[in-house]
Structure 1
Amino acid sequence: MIKGFIFDLDGVITDTAELHFLAWKALADDMGWQFDRDVNEKLRGVSRMDSIGIIMEHNTVSLPEDEVAALATKKNDIYVASLDQITTEDYLPGARELLTHLRQEGFKVALGSASKNSTKVLQQLNATKYFDVIGDGNSVSKSKPAPDIFLFGAEKLDLKPAECIVYEDAESGVDAAKAGGFFSVGIGPKDRVGHADVCFSSMKEATLFEVKSHFKELF
């Protein structure tokens, strides 16, 4: 039986992807590196340090570890400053309705995000009340596609992976859910998240009714 839900944040609850893109673009421009939306797509669901590694590899750049860490911090500072723009109007369509529905039906809910700024984003959205557990980039050392963040969430919810459904919009996130033994809902195009147990083009379509219909033997 499904007793809990675990949600990624970016691209599932709200879309901070554009703010991330602008922050990485500002850093890349400052460093004289090439960076565009194609490269940015490779960063979806990836941790900050792994992201800067992808950008550096794209530009055939190698730097000492301490300089890389400093640049990652600089990007994060740019990004965090932009989070003040987020309001309660910035839920993705369908996300707040789903979270409200889950609360009404008594399901346990956790966040499972690679972002270390998840708490700030949830506060801006006034969404903290929907979550029993906040799992983020500060909670585990291995980021997706390792399943650690979802396993952390399930453990804190006192549930087994097979009792949880994960909502993800990134290929690495679906990989992480599958690796951990979770059921998965993919949000986005099939070429990115089509390997999830069920895939929807948007959160608006991924209602509790639709998910229950697909996993009817589990409810």
Structure 2
Amino acid sequence: MLKAVIFDLNGTILDDEDNYTDAFRYVLHLLGVETGNDFTHTRGVGVKENWIDFKLRYNIKTKKSLDELVSLTQKAYLKEFDKVKLRKGFLKFVKNLKLLGIKTAIATSNDYSMVEKFFDKFGLEEYFDVVTSAEEVSLNKPSPQIFLLTAEKLGLEPYECLVFEDSEAGVEAAHLAGMAVVGIAKDGKSDFKKAQKVIHNFKDFKLLPQERVIN
């Protein structure tokens, strides 16, 4: 029986991946790198990991450390944070989970400081039993480490948890952890082959209260 739902934060609870794309573009521009319309960043792996990729992809030469590049990106993101919204249907969905007595958690590749920003803006801290952030694990997604730790903190087995993720790395991590996973696809399109179900937003998902299974 399903006993807990674990959510990724950015791109899953928050409809904000385009905001992070803009933040990365801004910092790349400061470094003299101009990006085209096809520019993308890798979802789900963390800001620092993206900068490791960008430095190789664009052959960036800079005296700025990875931590400084991460800080610049987070500052650029937070400048537009007032425009960030919850993914459609999330608030009603998480409230229903609590009414059903299902535990909830956040497992994010972002720092806990960003989780605090989320709580401050939307006032939803009371709806989550557990939060696991990047500082608590040694390996980011697609390693299953963050989901296994979250299940441990919830006092549950992995098979008792359902994960919502918007990235290939996150879906893979949940799968490797032995958890069922629902993929949230940008514009309703995705190749989440290891997800049990793929949705566009939380209005597309129903949890049957009697069996508590994916429908």
Alignment TM-score > 0.5, same fold: yes
Secondary structure at the residue paired with 1:150? helix
Q: 1:136 to 1:170 in 2, by over 3 A?
A: same
Q: Tell me which stretches of 4 or more aligned residues in structure 1 moved more than 6 Å.
A: none
Which structure 2 residues correspond to residues 130-145 of structure 1 after superposition, within 5 A? 130-145=127-142
- Deviation per CA, 1:48-72: give whole Å up to 9, x if none: 11111122222123557x6232222
Q: How many residues align?
A: 210
Q: Structure 1: which 5+ runs fail to align?
A: none
Give the counterpart of 1:148 among 145, 149, 162.
145
Aligned to 2:208: 209
Contact 1:14/1:91 (CA < 8 Å) preserved in 2? yes
Q: Is the 8 A contact 2:2 2:212 kept in 1?
A: no
- Maintained 8 Å contact 2:55/2:61: yes
Aligned twin of 2:23: 23
Bigger Cα displacement from structure 2, 46-55 vs 161-170: 46-55
Rounded to whole Å, the distance in 1 between the matches of 2:127 and 2:193 is 27
Q: CA deviation at 1:190?
A: 5.1
Task: Check the 8 A contact 1:4/1:165 in 2, yes or no.
Answer: yes
Q: Distance in 2 between matches of 1:17 and 1:190?
A: 15
Residue number in structure 1 paired with 2:86: 91
Aligned with 2:136: secondary structure?
coil
SS at match of 2:182: strand
TM-score between both structures, scaled by the size of structure 2: 0.88
Give the helix-richer structure, 1 or 2. 1
DSSP 3-state at the match of 2:39: helix
Retained in 1: the 8 A contact 2:8–2:165? yes
Per-residue deviation at 1:184? 0.7
- SS state of the match for residue 73, structure 2? helix
The equivalent residue for 1:13 is: 13
Q: Deviation of residue 36 (structure 1)?
A: 4.3
Counterpart CA distance in 2 for 1:102 and 1:67 is 42
Q: Which residue of 2 aligns with 1:79?
A: 77
The residue type equivalent to 1:82 in the other structure is E
Please state if 1:169 is matched with 2:184. no
Structure 2 CA distance, aligned partners of 1:53 and 1:39? 16
- Is contact 2:2–2:213 with CA below 8 Å preserved after alignment? no
Q: C-alpha distance in 2, partners of 1:52/1:8?
A: 20
Q: Which is worse superposed, 47-56 or 105-114?
A: 47-56
Q: Which amino acid aligns with 1:200?
A: I
Give secondary structure in 2 for the equivalent of 1:186: strand
CA contact (8 A) 2:208 2:214 kept: no
User: Normalising by the residue count of structure 1, what TM-score does the alignment of the two structures yield?
Assistant: 0.86
- The one-letter amino acid of 1:155's match is E
